[in-house]
Amino acid sequence: MILLLRLAVRNARRNVVRTALTASTVALGTAVLTTALAWIGGVFGSIIETSANSVGHVRVVQPAYAAREDLFPLYENIANAREIVDTVSEIDGVTAAYPRIVSGVTVSAGDEIGEHFSLLYGADVAWFRERMDFDALMAAGTFFERPDDIVLGATIAERTGATVGGEVILLGQTQDGSISPLKGRVVGVVSAGTALMDQAAFVSLERMQYLADMDGGATEILVYAEHRDDAGELATRVAAEVGDLKAEAWSAREPWASLLSIVVVIRTTLAGFIVFITALGVWNTMMMSVMERTSEIGVLRAMGLTGRGTLFLFVSEALMIATLGGLLGVCIGGLGGAYLEIYGVSIGSDVTQNLSTDFPFQQTMYADMNLEVALTAFGLGMLMAVVGSALPSARAASIKPVEAMRTNR
């Protein structure tokens, strides 16, 4: 085994140009893969993290609300919201639970009323602070101070001409469908760079309950685990405690369930494509190597090298070269990933504001370069080498010694 490895090292050093070419191919593939994985992980990771935070790791609702939630059916509410919050808070693994109401309203700041549509979120102040990170997103003014305070998203504030300190009127409806107005003072403007936040308005739960004529009620109870990945198991435990209400993990709900599947497909397709292209390059140079050494392989086989040993010899050589190329590729790709993690790529507010509020796309999308990405890219670099060298190695292993020694190569 040691002898074969030493032989593999020697072979790799015999034709430096070819070895460099193979290593460069692997390096290029690994670099592209590293940057791409960091980018995909960063962009979708951000969307998923923000989504899971905004919709709750597990959500408890009336089943009829879930069935028609696009229409915000306020009448399908949980009348005893606080009781349900208390009940789920006792469940093992629950770190927090908040009642919430979301509904459509029109926002006006001037004399004209009802020109600008917005989603209105009514929730506990703790939810805005702890889950939506409002303190960090505040572009102007402060957070809720008084019961009639209203916080607006930056886009809706701009469209309505609302400013901090000014009054706005929200025109929504009660749970019975009756027109219901709400007047308040704008105390702050939040800017997150996403349609989800920037096109919305935010009030305390009590104000929202008044608007919806839903005293003590809420349409959703958002439940949080230590980590969003625990949502599936937690949903089962919560469902067992909430009777006829429906408890769903965020990852099982649309559109996020589809988004997760799409992310897996994108990652797999991209990785598979890069591995395939790079493997072709490795195959090419390794096949040249095998053909050049046919005579030598014949001698080694005549001296007792088995077919399996021949296979090992060439795969080892490919892996050694791939290790060099892979490390180089991870370094280069890592630099690209780090650059995108720091500076990001801006897709502009015009694009993000027109995207669905279900997916909180940031105006500037950042990569997430981490050790997992580097190890995955390096591992796939090794796979490129194994796949690329498989056929040439098999060909070498199948060479008959007598026929090989007859050739001039």
Of 120-128, 167-175, 284-292, 389-397, which part binds another protein (CB under 8 A)? 167-175
Q: To the nearest whole angstrom, how small is the minimum distance from the Cβ of residue 267 to another protein?
A: 43
DSSP track, 186-199: EEEEE--SSHHHHT
Binding mask 168-197 for another protein (x = CB under 8 A): -x-x-xxxxxxx-xxx--------------
Give residue 405's Cα distance to chain centre: 56
222 contacts 89 by C-beta, under 8 angstroms? no
> Of 180 and 289, which has the nearer Cβ to another protein?
180
103 contacts 212 by C-beta, under 8 angstroms? yes
> Of 50 and 180, which has the nearer Cβ to another protein?
180
Of 13-21, 34-42, 165-173, 245-253, which part binds another protein (CB under 8 A)? 165-173
Binding mask 213-242 for another protein (x = CB under 8 A): x-----------------------------
* DSSP H or E run through 13: helix 2-14
Residue corresponding to tokens 């770190």: 95
Strands, E assignment, 81-213: 96-108, 116-123, 138-141, 149-153, 167-173, 179-190, 200-204
Q: Is the dihedral of CA 77, 80, 82, 87 positive or negative?
A: negative
Q: What stretches of 138-255 show up as alpha helix (H) in DSSP?
A: 154-160, 195-198, 205-211, 231-241
> Of 175 and 310, which has the nearer Cβ to another protein?
175
When asked if residue 113 is in the footprint of another protein (CB under 8 A), the reply is yes
Q: To the nearest whole angstrom, how small is the minimum distance from the Cβ of residue 200 to another protein?
A: 20
Binding mask 320-359 for another protein (x = CB under 8 A): ----------------------------------------
When asked if residue 163 is in the footprint of another protein (CB under 8 A), the reply is no
When asked if residue 296 is in the footprint of another protein (CB under 8 A), the reply is no
Total Cβ atoms within 10 A of residue 314 = 25
Give, to the nearest 10 degrees, the angle between helix 371-397 and helix 256-292.
Answer: 40
> Of 182 and 190, which has the nearer Cβ to another protein?
182
**What are residue 78's DSSP bridge partners?**
218
212 contacts 180 by C-beta, under 8 angstroms? yes
Q: To the nearest whole angstrom, how small is the minimum distance from the Cβ of residue 235 to another protein?
A: 27
Q: Is the dihedral of CA 15, 17, 23, 26 positive or negative?
A: negative
> Of 181 and 344, which has the nearer Cβ to another protein?
181
When asked if residue 212 is in the footprint of another protein (CB under 8 A), the reply is no
> Of 174 and 295, which has the nearer Cβ to another protein?
174
When asked if residue 75 is in the footprint of another protein (CB under 8 A), the reply is yes
Q: To the nearest whole angstrom, how small is the minimum distance from the Cβ of residue 348 to another protein?
A: 32
When asked if residue 203 is in the footprint of another protein (CB under 8 A), the reply is no
Chain contacts with another protein (rule: CB under 8 A): 75, 113-114, 169, 171, 173-179, 181-183, 213
